[in-house]
Amino acid sequence: MPRETVRGMRAHEYDLDPRFARLVPGRGMVETSPVVCPAGHQIGGGRMTVGGFTCQCSQEASDTGYRIWTCNECLAVLIHPACPQRPAFTPWEGAIS
């Protein structure tokens, strides 16, 4: 069985917490994403820009990559997981349901 990948990340390395990624029949692993920005704007349905980066900090995610979501309205940035080198980004707590 080939490993499932999400944008180059191997599933066993990715955060499989259901708040952040879920297995969907027929689609494989699908990332969840925020629906409200830190300022309260509704950002579901493509009203945000999804990105990601790696960095040089000591977090485990510095290798596997951070996910960031930028509100198209106010450019506020949500990040998962939190990065100590990006204090201006608001850590996202994940999908509630």
Q: Quick one: 22 or 41, whose CB is closer to Zn ion? A: 41
Nearest-angstrom CA–CA distance, 26 and 84: 36
DSSP conformational letter for 58: S
Nearest distance from residue 88's CB to Zn ion, in Å? Answer: 13
Position 21 contacts Zn ion (CB under 5 A): no
Question: Where in 57-96 is the site for Zn ion (CB under 5 A)?
Answer: 57, 59, 62, 71, 73-74, 76, 83, 85
Cα–Cα distances (Å) from 64 to 27, 32, 46, 77, 97, in that order, read 21, 17, 24, 19, 25
- Binding residues (CB under 5 A) for Zn ion: these are 37, 39, 41, 55, 57, 59, 62, 71, 73-74, 76, 83, 85
